[in-house]
Chain A
Amino acid sequence: MSTTEKDIASAVDAGGQHDHHEIPWIRKYVFATDHKMIAKQFMFVSLFFLVVGGALAGMMRFQLGFPGQPMPGAGILPDAMMAPTPNGAIMLPEFYNSLVTMHGTIMIFFAIMPLLVGLFGNLLIPLQIGAEDMAFPRLNMASFWLAVPAGMLMLASFAVEGGAAGAGWTSYAPLSTSGEWTGVYLGQQLWLVSLTILGFSSLIGAVNYITTVINLRAPGMTWFRIPLATWSLFVTAVLILLAIPILAGALIMLLFDQTIGTGFFRPEVGGEPLLWQHLFWFFGHPEVYILILPAMGITSEVLSNRARKPIFGYHSMVLALISIGFLGWIVWGHHMFQSGMNPLLGTSFMISTMAIAVPSAIKTFNWLGTLWKADIHFDVPMLHALSFVSMFIIGGLSGIFMASTPVDIYIHDTYFIVAHLHYVLFGGSLFAIFAGITYWFPKMFGRMMNEPLGKVHFVLTFIFYNLVFFPMHNLGLQGMMRRIYDFTQYDFLQPLQPMNQFITLFAFALITTQLLFVFNFFWSIFKGEKAGNNPWKSNTLEWTVPSPPPHGNFAEMPTVFRGPYEYSSPESDDDFLPQTTPPREGPGPSSGVPEPTPTPEGAEA
């Protein structure tokens, strides 16, 4: 054994133990180091937060649909949130502001992000590259157990004096610098502390993912044979790694402003409020890509599999991912066109923003190309992946309106923005999450999710979702501002009352529909149809192992011979050709050869 190899071995020892002894209950389910268990932990916790975020949205929608009317059943909430009247409890504006803030914060940081990164990152990365586990299993455990207290702090802030943070998920200074402006003191600080802890959790997760992808690929798993889900998670991890520290710095400065009285963002003592926005969006735009890239990866995976056809333009898909990873750093100013930033800068940010629409478009065209002359199976994961594509088209196109600076003057801070971000985050990310959960459910639990129930859930969600969010474009175009407690205060917005009510009713329907998913999820864990190793006849490595995979994943180190999307290849009698199947002609490379020669039909073609 050479020196480096021994180094490697001992370094790995330090990282985690892989003895196959009986693992005590607490190490298996609570302080678990197995990446699959951590993935499930992230899934359960973030699905819980998804429900919380949904409930907050429901309350907000009630107020918008029925402004100033008593909310049924809200009497149980404290008077600081809902003012009691003889007819029932009416929502207070400060509570509405907390709802707006916490809905955004919880959905983005505690639901979508941990579902995409915590769940799918943990589940897929080691399995898809042929690793036993993450490079640092204990760090992985720490990542989860930092996210939990962060979430609890965030929730606890509802219960403290003054209520939860109320300055928007963007927490613009100076509003956020002092309770003097919002009436929220402790809540605003808990918000900052919670996100700082969560940031640290994401950060060590990212270090782990990056190291794992670079170091732990099975023999033959060259960069251009990595499945797109893992590719996208890798680029996402890089974005997290570089963006989160910027947020952390800003959060801490803001916390200092609030607690010890520094003046970074406080103009009354010579501070610079716009600095907060620059820091926040320098993090924030990469963040929105953190929220969409894994969703794109999941979609690519499901689409190619269920269309039984190689992904169209694998290389340009990867290049598009990478170029988003770069371009994402120079467009942050498009959130600040009306902020008072130098208007000349506005123009440069408009141009860079127009440029970043290109890789997104490329990906969309490639998904369409994948469906061309395909053999499309409309299973539940596929339905969700397809709706990702069609909804992402809408969200991407509405982005063009806002990227155009003069048009943005009118629609900035209106419901048009709300529509855009929900088309990319709900229509995009969340549909991809549904696709991913239903697709990899058998791998996680060894059982399939119920198909008819899943279809009902999908159809209702798709319809209600569009009825809720599409008209928000129209509200925005009529001039209705976002983050507004009672739009009927404006005469010119009063005609929008019926539309708002319409949206609210379908929002309730949308929320209720999700019960189907919850039911299907739990029912299928126990009662679902048993799944074999590879129910989707997929090519990638995770489907070569049992469902659920044992501790250590691969009984034998897999060797990879080709790209991940060799569906309907003439080389195979079936319509799929796993990455591990040795090429038909000639002897397969003996195990231990790190880079087997690519087959002529391989994805490198």
Chain B
Amino acid sequence: MNLSAIRELYKEPDCSHNAKKEADACPRPTPGKAAGGCSFDGAYISLGPIADCAHVVHGPSGCIANTWNNRGSLSSGPSLFRTAFTTDLDNNDVVFGGEKKLFKAVRKIIDKHRPPAVFVYQTCVTAMIGDDIDALCKAVSEKTGTPVIPVDSPGFTGTKNFGNRLAGDAVLRHVIGTMEPATPHPFNVNLIGEFNIAGELWAMLPYFDELGIRLICSLSGDARYHQVAMMHRAQVNMMVCSRALLNVARSMKEKYGTPYFEGSFYGADNTSRALIKIAELMGDPALLGKTKQLCEREKERIAPSLENLRARLAGKKVLLYTGGVKSWSIVGALQELGMTVIATGTRKSTEEDKERIRGLMGDDATMISEGNPRKLLEVFRKQNADILMAGGRNQYTALKARIPFVDVNQERHLPFTGFNGHVRLAGAVADAIENPVFAMTREPSPFGGI
């Protein structure tokens, strides 16, 4: 990918990071203050869960060694995606180029594993030595008949968010629209940005089946290559809790006219809203009626358990620190439980996200744009919060400060989506707050020290 193509990608017209300032949608990381991953990380995370494909990282082993297989994205079938393939460049390759090695590696993987497709990820070093993965992927593809998709994602091009976009760009260019469903179906949907963390997709799928809405592809949790290739046949795209792959939805709207919306499956209300929105966009009154009924039924079903949990949670204060869409979707889910969200992180949120947060939390909502641990603790203490909900990175910040913590990012082990997920989320929060360990560890030791 040349420089101007990359610059094009920086400008994501539908991203409201861009709306106010005319600058690039993805700000440059600040040296000494940057905490997130690189764009390779973002690209790999976005596509890595496509379960039946081989994912090959073209670079030194360092890029993949630290990240592979540590996310909770689950597969209901193939597990090839869990294998970390890397060309593992050495000194010699850096001097003479790694293309040959990559070529052999991909051929070998195809021979041995027969995947429906291979994704090849470019990293910093291989970009610097000028390996042309586009041409190479094309060559292997032609030779073997297996699609080999280049993902041009060297880390130095930007942040993790930008890497998500690079991943989206790769599937838009090379995958989407290359296959057709075997049987037609009246209602088809894609869930973009659903990663099936802890099985969250599985919590939603039965509802889709019940409503007669066919999920073509969840990009990319528990996805298969052919599903990605057929995404253009959906009538609706839902961006799930993330703006990471927004360029996919936007381009599909331009190219195929597929409408999209942003929604969330966190919280019973959000879930109902999202399901109803999908039905609305399908434009079928009968489907809409059925969907509304289903939502009512499910809400009624969980009402008793939620009532119990509400009693335990009412008035409790949460400090929420998570990026992007989750910053508003989880706020809603928590408020449904009678909790007060005293502040929320907005590091990755857009102006639009922030608008929604103000809508939910009021105008004086505290937004934390910089999530260094000290700042988090300061806000927590000042506002007398009861629990911190954040990503795994801040887990030990909370624990060292003897603060109850619930992981709301990808490292968690419980599905929080849908109606049952809401009960589960509430249960997790209540259990964390009530755990006796926190009170005990706050008491002074009889022997000095802590």
A binds B: no
